[in-house]
Amino acid sequence: MKTILQNYSGIILLLAGIMIGSLIGIFSPNMVNYLKPVGDIFLNLLFVSVVPLVYFAVANSIASVEQGGKFGKIIFAMIFTFLLFIIIAALFTIAVVYLFPTEALPSTSKEIIENTADDTWGNRIVSFFTVGEFTELFSRKNMVALLIFAFLTGTASRKTDEAGTVFRNFLSSGYEVMKELLLLVMKAAPIGLGAYFAYQVATVGPQLFGFYAKPLGLYYVAGLVYFLVFFSLYAFAAKGKDGVQKFWKNNIYPSLTAISTCSSFATMPTNLQAAAKIGVPDTIANIVIPIGSTLHKNGSSMSSIIKIYVAFLIIGKDFFDPMNLLLALGITIFVSIVAGGIPNGGYIGEMLMISVYQLPQEAIPAVMIIGTLVDPLATVLNSTGDTVAAMFVTRISGEKFEEPKEFVG
Please name the helix (run of DSSP H) or strand (run of DSSP E) that holds residue 335, with its range, or none: none
pLDDT at 114: 43
d(CA 159, CA 162): 9
pLDDT at 91: 96
d(CA 159, CA 154): 9
Q: For each successive 10 residues of the chain (409 residues), what is the average pLDDT?
A: 64 81 87 86 82 82 60 81 95 95 58 46 71 84 80 87 91 88 83 82 65 84 96 96 94 84 76 91 84 84 90 83 88 74 58 72 73 83 94 91 65
Residue 191: left (phi > 0), alpha (psi -120 to 50), or beta?
alpha
d(CA 101, CA 312): 12
Q: Which of 185, 206, 192 is nearest to 35 (CA)?
A: 192
pLDDT at 171: 92
Q: Which of 246, 294, 238, 233 is nearest to 82 (CA)?
A: 294
d(CA 113, CA 230): 39
Q: What is the 3-state secondary structure (H, E, C) of 125-186?
A: HHHHHCCCCHHHHCCHHHHHHHHHHHHHHHHHHHHCHHHHHHHHHHHHHHHHHHHHHHHHHH
pLDDT at 394: 93
Cite the DSSP H helix spans in 160-263.
Answer: 165-186, 189-204, 207-225, 231-250, 252-261
pLDDT at 390: 95
